[in-house]
Amino acid sequence: MSRRFFLTSSAATLLVPTSALALNDGQARRLVDGLVGEINTVIDSGKTESAMYKEFERIFRKFADLPYIAAYALGVDGRRATGTQKKAFTNAFTGYVSRKYGKRFREFIGGRLEVQGVKQVKSFYQVRTIAHLRGEAPFEVDFHVSDRSGKDLFFNMYIEGINMLLTEREEIGAMLDRRKGNIDALIRDLKTAG
């Protein structure tokens, strides 16, 4: 195990969303119903790839706790980032994840996501959806929803059991390592990555 893995795994416990649980299962489900509805509309729209990515970015900005997700992805390296760098990273990271997960959602063309159920897990709610794709067995896409930011937003997503937060932390960490820890270079390159 690398030093980065140890540090980022240790820091993960510090970044678990906490709230007074004003959010309830009905609100969590409504959030994901809205999210899924908008994703389904985009994948059925027939728009060009670049137009779809812009729509997915709009959806991420509306439904996701992007400052939290970006901070988690940057991990312990965020401690040395300036306020300006954190803001620029969050903006660049938003475009990056929108393109990256937009590509995954484009695979759903001709299919659909359906909300199946909601359950409380510690201080957040897990909303389970099933992805139905043409010619493939259905699979799970789960969203973790919290109101820790003051709004009901999703802060993590599992696609076929793959944890978005952990995946992005590992990938951003590796990208930063390849740039010898240069956060500005990472921000610049994220603007076209994904």
Q: Return the pLDDT at 147.
A: 94
Residue 111 lies in a domain: yes
Q: What is the pLDDT of residue 62?
A: 96
Per cent of the chain over pLDDT 70 is 89
Identify whether 18 is part of a domain: no
Q: Answer whether residue 16 is part of any domain.
A: no
CATH code, domain carrying 95: 3.10.450.710
Radius of gyration of the chain (CA): 17
Containing domain of residue 117, as a range? 3-11+23-190
Asked, for residue 17, whether it belongs to a domain, the answer is no
Count: domains in the chain:
1
Confidence of residue 74 (pLDDT cuts 50, 70, 90): very high
The tens digit of pLDDT for each residue in 54-72 reads: 999 999 999 999 999 999 9
Percent of the chain residues topping a pLDDT of 90:
62
Q: Both tokens of residue 11? A: 């820091």
| pLDDT tier at 43, thresholds 50, 70, 90 | confident
Which one-letter DSSP state was computed for residue 19?
-
The pTM for the full model equals 0.82
What 3 state SS string does 115-175 have?
A: EEEEEEECCEEEEEEEEECCCCCCEEEEEEEECCCCCCEEEEEEECCEEHHHHHHHHHHHH
Provide the mean pLDDT of the chain: 86
| 140 pLDDT more than 80 | yes
